[in-house]
Structures are given as C-alpha cells and as structure tokens.
Structure 1
Amino acid sequence: MSKRYFVTGTDTEIGKTTIAAALLHAARVGGLSTAAVKPVAAGCERTSDGLRNEDALALQAECSPALAYELINPITLEAAIAPHIAAKEEGAALTLEILAGACLQVFDRERDLTLVEGAGGWRVPLNDDELLSELAVELKLPVVLVVGMRLGCINHALLTCEAIAADGLQLAGWVANHVDPDMSRPDENLATLQQLIKAPLLGRVPRLDNADAASVAAYLDVTPLV
C-alpha cells in the first residue's frame, strides 16, 4: 500500500530536504519504489533546461523509478525569498488548487513511499488567503517533522506540533537534525523533546561534513513510515 507524508520543519534551513532525500534513499535501498514532490521552490537557478532548484534535484535523485523534474517541482521561483512574495514579483500563480493538483499527479504513480516537502516552516503563506499547511490538510497527509537542533528548538518544535494537531493531522514521526555544531546541552534538549513529542523519533542526525542522502540515511529508521 502506498504511503504518503508531508515533510515540514521547525524553520527554514534546518535540513528538510536532506532528511527527506535520506528517507527516500533508505526506502529505495530497501527495495521500495519512491517519489517526491516539492510543489513550490523559491531559489531556483536558470539552466538550459529552465529554472532548477537544488533541493528539488536532490529529491529527484532519490525517486525510483525516475520522475520528470516538472512533476517533482511544478512551481519554480527564482528569488530565494518567501514563496508568496516571489510569486507576486515573478507573476506566478501560487494557489492551493494548483499545488494539490500537482501532488495528485505524482500520487497517481502509486509509489511505495511518496514525500511532499514543504517550504520553510508549517505556516508559510501561498498567497493573501491560503497557507502551505492547508495543502497537507487538503491531501490528508500525515506529517514528518524535522527539528533543527539549536537553541530555541524545543519551543519551535512544540508550537509546530500543536499547529499540526490543531489542523487535524497526525504527526507520523520526527527527526532531530543537528544544524548547530556548537549547541549547548544537545543531549538534554533531545531528551526533553523525546518526552514531550508524542510521535516516533525516526533518527538523530549529527552534523556531517558530507550530508548526502546515503550518509544521512545511516542515522534514520524509515520503518515506522513504510
């Protein structure tokens, strides 16, 4: 049976893509078919093939069988700023209906594990009226939360968990990703999070010099998801 999840984070730049790609890698190495969607990506480079986003390319590399880039990342925005601002400036349509339709095209592939990666944290605007979190609600997706382990992470994590629950969605699991190598009392912070977050801890990822999907996958347990 196909399993589908929405991957969000406690903030931007805390490793959502790194973790999502590693979870897909672990599933793929385990013999499962995989797919990913990054429905909107802000911060794309112009290439001979069109606008391309580094994170979306990392997800594409872990899709098996392969998926076309346009399926994985249907809305490409050049400016590396909040998506709703970039969309306005670049004249791009960014609506819940468009993103949901794009996700459903990938869901039709019926892969064993499909991950939809958000942008930034949980409450990211799409436009003046809609939030990206509403996409997970519309698609009824359980959520995987990436917690960026740094000062303030407990507050950010618990508020995000509360928001996910308030939206009526299940927190399927979470990952502790050590983004700050100089964080004080990381073990104590992790213990507090484990006590307070009522969902499986899928892994604790240290700060790695080479954080490619294969290296990170060694620290994750994809079993609760598949």
Structure 2
Amino acid sequence: MRLLLFGGTGSMGIPLAREYLWVYSSSTLVLYVRNRSKVPQDLAEHRNVIIIEGELDDMDMLSKAMEGVDAVIAALGPTGRKGPFYPRDTPIAAAYIRIMVTMKGHGVRRLIALTTPSVRDPEDQFSLSLIFLRKMFATLCPNAVKDIVAVGRVIRTQREELDWTLMRLALHSSDTDPENCEVVAGYMGDGKINAVSSRIGAAQFIIQELDRREWIWKSPILSKPS
C-alpha cells in the first residue's frame, strides 16, 4: 500500500504516521507538508517515507504527491489560527475540495478525513457533554467551526466518486498511559462514547480502518469507552 498523509506534522498526524509504518512495515508513506523541518527525525529518516513540500493550493504538487497512491488520510484542521482571527473563507474546506479533485484525477477513491463532533450526523442523539463542547467552540471560534462544518458538507457530496470516512475525534487525552488508549466508534448519545479520546488509540483505529473498511460513507465519533 502507498498512503498519502496530509497534516503529518500535527498532533494527530505524527501518531498516524508512526502507526502506519508500524502496521504496514513494508509499505510507502508519502507526507505532504509545508515545512520539511517540522517532520520528526524518526519519520524524516525512515526508509519508507517520502516527504513532499507544498502548499494546499498548489495543484501541481498535489498531483505529484498523489501519484501511485492507494489511499489518503487527511488530518487537516484549524490549529494555529484561533478565535476571531480565523479567516472567514473556510480555507480547510477549500483545501479538501482540491485534494478530492486531485484524487479523482488519479483514480484514488479511499479518503479518511479527520474532523470533530462539530460536524453533525443523522445518527447523533442527545449528549449533554458533547452538545456543551459544540456550543463552546462555536462561541469561541465561530469561523473555525464554520470551516469544520464545511469540511463535512463538501466531503459528503462525494459519495458516488469517493469511499470516504469522516472520523470525528473527541477531545484528546494526554496519552500518559500507553496501556489505556482504547477507543470506540459510535455516535453522540449512543451510550458508547464520551467527550475524551486518545491520540494513540485513535491513530490505531484509523489505520486499521484502511483494511477493515467498516465505516465507508459514515461519520463515527472516536472516543474512549463511556
């Protein structure tokens, strides 16, 4: 397998990259990054890692990165541009549109996109803790939440052409106990999930989904067991 990972220098991208290389030890990982110097040394020096520097609006570099790819994982988010200073023009959603156009141009169907419970799903039910988080983030970071919601909307329009999964991640724990990183997949208010997730556990679940393909055209929330 040849995986293209966006956001590979972020808080979720790094554990995803490491988990992929652990599980698929003989496969290739392509990291599409803005700045090569931010790639951790263990990944930058790994024999199966290819690093491509480029912006998310550079269609030529996106096309180069997509060559020979079997699946795409995108861990893109509004980190670093917070509160009232976040742009209003939904830049992450726009980036996903360009990524999906490039995927279709290269015949790549599988997309796993990381987002948050701010993206709603018809399977969701009432959950006080998660509704509180939704309202809090919508109040503190309205433009960022607008962008996150737009990501869910643009990806869901591609059901005929892409095998997508929207992985909605709850708040991350510190992962101080590697033996306590289990996560489950479910929907708001189903009694299985809560408001806290594990980066390590989420990375393991997402990489397993590459082969399992249990959540195509679905939007599960990943969290620690309730």
Quickly name the TM-score band, shorter chain normalised: 0.3 to 0.5
Larger RCO, structure (CA 8 Å, separation 6 or more): 1
TM-score using structure 2 length: 0.47
TM-score using structure 1 length: 0.47
